[in-house]
Amino acid sequence: MNFEFKLAKEFSFEYHEGEDFLVDINSVQKQGVIVCEFNLLEDNRQKHSGRFSGVLTNSFYIDSQSELRYNAIKGFSDSYRNNQFIGKWISYITKNSKICNFGEWKIPNSEDLNIGAGEFYPNEKYFDKGWNPINEIGNDWWE
């Protein structure tokens, strides 16, 4: 896996009542976001393997002890998201690619896949593609 940092930017924030639910707001000295190119190479000896390639953003904060922390300050909020990846997976053998977007609580550029109001909830039309949230996974799910 490799990362190539493209941008690291500090930003200020406005405190809203209740944001200290997950993080002690008084310990936050700075907040920021990191944007990087991301490449993850799967083991090419495995069947159906390839590489993930795209752009990853991650927000962070620095606490009063100068420790870098994962930013979950607005983790209770409907608009919260972090670890946002936009990219593709490319097969080593066929060179075919598939869209591969993921993130914490929200999936970027998911179009009509996400119909949830406050949190991610998949559209019913994708249930047969494995997105059924109440679908039970059997012991042979990986086959």
pLDDT at 96: 97
pLDDT at 119: 78
What is the rounded distance in angstroms from the CA atom of residue 41 to the CA atom of residue 90?
Answer: 10
pLDDT at 41: 93
pLDDT at 71: 87
pLDDT at 16: 66
User: Is residue 68's pLDDT more than 70?
Assistant: yes
